[in-house]
Amino acid sequence: MLADQFGREVTGVRVSLTDRCNFDCVYCHNEGLGDTRGPMDPQDDEMSADDVVRFLEVAAEFDVDAVKFTGGEPMLRGDLTEIVRRTPDELEVSMTTNGTFLPDRAEELVDAGLERVNVSQDALDPDDFAKVTQSGAYEQVIEGVEAALDAGLAPVKLNMVVFQGTKPYLPEMVDHVAENDGLRLQLIEYMPELVGNADWAVDTAAMHEWLAGQADRIEQREMHGRSRYFIDGGMVEVVDPVGNEEFCANCHRVRVTHDGYLKGCLNRNDDLRSMGEMTEAEIRETFRETVENRVPYYGEYMVEEDGEWVVNERYLDDPPTADD
């Protein structure tokens, strides 16, 4: 297994299969690449199924044990089932999706080897949902969650981005997962680093306190040191990476962009390495180098002083926006 200079073993890879999307969520970071708007048809720059599988075979050689397919909207890929089917058996296969295409395809994906799914759902009311996603597909998403449960994918995590626009929906979302078997809630802190609008952020410390006040039990996940709150039979996990050194200190993932670039950190675009025309041996070497070059905290938001990486205080005090 590969470990970076800071002792973090790389156990997972997150592969973006496309940067296209049928939604236009107001906050979207597109896994670190910016805008998802554009043509919906397959694009030439996307990795082919062969490229994805070749990379995953290399990752498996390095004892990576999990892959997350994401995007853009990964289910826009017509060859998604093939990719899942051809993923090496050693890797747990999960996907994060907006859920709209699950009603027709959940079962075939499970048959192909999909083991877990996270579905993004920020609200329980169609109008509220439409304001955030700029899409009217609320019913399809609800049907998608049902289809995932019917296909045996419970527990299904509902991903909710917590920002000023969704904060009022928090209590009903917590109740929703408590009342419905098979659902969990994942509260994702709004990340302004790549998309701006820092003033949309909410006070996560207050959110933790509010959740703790209702919880029967609290656990901490090894991954990212994430907290899990058990409330009235439901489970709520908090993903709070912004300015959170502990979160990064427990980050064991390497990313791949839809166009086949290795990327050591979601918030970092200065270390992209194309796997384009590479042989398997070259991919192996580049993977090693990407792991070797990981930084302990936020990539470009760290500053190097006297040969050491230290936290960029300016960033912590005043997070830059895309407009800076």
Ligand X SMILES: Nc1nc2c(ncn2[C@@H]2O[C@H](COP(=O)(O)OP(=O)(O)OP(=O)(O)O)[C@@H](O)[C@H]2O)c(=O)[nH]1
Ligand Y SMILES: C[S@@+](CC[C@H](N)C(=O)[O-])C[C@H]1O[C@@H](n2cnc3c(N)ncnc32)[C@H](O)[C@@H]1O
Residue 105: name its binding partner from ligand Y, ligand X, ligand SF4, none (Cβ under 5 to 8 Å by kind): none
Provide, rounded to whole angstroms, the least separation between the CB of residue 203 and ligand SF4: 20
Among 46, 51, 72, 102, binds ligand SF4 (CB under 6 A): 72
In the numeric block, which tokens belong to residue 241?
A: 């990476």
Among 16, 87, 94, 98, binds ligand SF4 (CB under 6 A): 98
Integer Cα distance of 183 and 27 in angstroms: 24
What do you get for the CA distance between the two ends of the chain, in Å?
38
Query: 218: which strand partners?
Result: 229
Integer Cα distance of 63 and 9 in angstroms: 10
Is 27 annotated to bind a ligand? Reply is yes
Alpha-carbon distances, residue 264 vs 34, 195, 241 (angstroms): 17, 19, 15
**Residue among 11 and 94 whose Cβ is closer to ligand Y:** 94
Q: Is the dihedral of CA 140, 108, 72, 319 positive or negative?
A: positive
Is 21 annotated to bind a ligand? Reply is yes
CB 213 within 8 A of CB 207: no
Is 138 annotated to bind a ligand? Reply is no
- According to the binding rule CB under 6 A, does residue 248 interact with ligand SF4? yes
**Residue among 31 and 46 whose Cβ is closer to ligand Y:** 31
Kindly identify the residues of this chain, within the stretch 260-299, that bind ligand SF4 according to CB under 6 A: 265-267, 298
Phi, psi of 131 (to 5 degrees): -65, -40
**Residue among 119 and 236 whose Cβ is closer to ligand SF4:** 119
CB 37 within 8 A of CB 28: no
Provide, rounded to whole angstroms, the least separation between the CB of residue 44 and ligand X: 25
In the numeric block, which tokens belong to residue 37?
A: 């708007």
Give contact residues for ligand SF4 (rule: CB under 6 A).
21, 23-25, 28, 30, 36, 71-73, 98, 120, 133, 241, 247-248, 251, 265-267, 298
Q: Which residue ranges make up the annotated binding site?
A: 14, 21, 25, 27-28, 68, 72, 96, 120, 157, 248, 251, 253-255, 265
